[in-house]
Every structure is written in structure tokens, then in C-alpha cells.
């Protein structure tokens, strides 16, 4: 059984958040996935490690060095919002009006 850890930072809104994960790996068993034992997200790195259950100071220092030397992560929005065309909106309105008219006429037939 081996323990290993992953950490990274990511901007969320206008703040930098630290994400910390602790795993257990069983190399003696084949086809067994790693088990996620702890996971945390916090604006304070040490608090994130506390939540994830990482108490070893040497491991924390190594993770923090990895985060600081890693290139900065930037979120890029690839998708642009698409405005629906006028014909699409008109056909959608017509569909809803027909649906309402049909459901109301069925209701009045069964009620009367």
C-alpha cells in the first residue's frame, strides 16, 4: 500500500483556491484503481491540507513547492453564447400556444 498526494491551484472568481487530494494505491493488486481518501478546496493551503487529512509537514512543503513551480492555470471560455434566431423563437411560441390550446380543449371536453 502506498500513499500519494496531488495538489494544484486554480482561480475561482477573483480568488486563488488550493485543491488538495490524498490517495491510497495498492500496487500488489492488479486492475485496482487508486482510492481517494481525502479531498479539500480552500483559499488557505494549510487549511486545505488539514481538511484533506495531510498532517506531514514535509509532504505539505513538497506539495506547496510543486504548486508554486507549476505554470499558472487560466480558465478560458471556448464556447460563445449563441443567440437563437427570430424564426426559432416564433416557432417555439407557436408550439407552446398550440400545446396550450389542445390541452385546454381536452380539459373542457372531459369536464363538460
What pLDDT is attached to residue 84?
56
State how far the Cα of 57 lies from the Cα of 36, in Å rounded to an integer: 20
In a domain, 102, yes or no: yes
**pLDDT in tens for each of the 112 residues of the chain?**
888 899 999 888 888 899 999 999 988 888 888 899 999 999 999 999 999 999 999 999 999 998 888 776 555 555 555 565 556 666 666 666 666 655 555 555 555 5
7 and 47 co-located in one domain: yes
60 and 16 co-located in one domain: yes
What pLDDT is attached to residue 72?
66
59 and 10 co-located in one domain: yes
Q: Which domain holds residue 102?
A: 83-112
What pLDDT is attached to residue 81?
59
| 39 burial type by CB count under 10 A (0-12 exposed, 13-18 middle, 19+ buried) | middle
16 and 64 co-located in one domain: yes
In a domain, 95, yes or no: yes
In a domain, 77, yes or no: no
What pLDDT is attached to residue 99?
61
Q: Full-prediction pTM beyond 0.75? A: no
What pLDDT is attached to residue 98?
61
What pLDDT is attached to residue 82?
57
Amino acid at each position: 500500500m502506498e500513499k500519494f498526494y496531488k495538489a494544484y491551484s486554480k482561480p475561482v472568481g477573483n480568488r486563488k483556491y488550493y485543491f488538495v487530494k490524498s490517495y491510497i494505491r495498492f500496487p500488489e493488486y492488479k486492475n485496482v484503481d487508486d482510492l481517494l481518501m481525502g479531498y479539500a478546496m480552500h483559499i488557505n493551503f494549510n487549511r486545505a491540507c488539514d481538511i484533506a487529512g495531510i498532517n506531514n509537514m514535509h509532504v505539505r512543503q513538497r506539495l506547496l513547492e510543486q504548486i508554486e513551480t507549476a505554470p499558472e492555470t487560466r480558465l478560458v471560455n471556448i464556447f460563445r453564447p449563441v443567440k437563437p434566431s427570430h424564426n426559432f423563437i416564433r416557432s417555439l411560441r407557436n408550439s407552446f400556444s398550440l400545446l396550450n390550446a389542445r390541452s385546454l380543449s381536452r380539459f373542457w371536453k372531459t369536464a363538460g
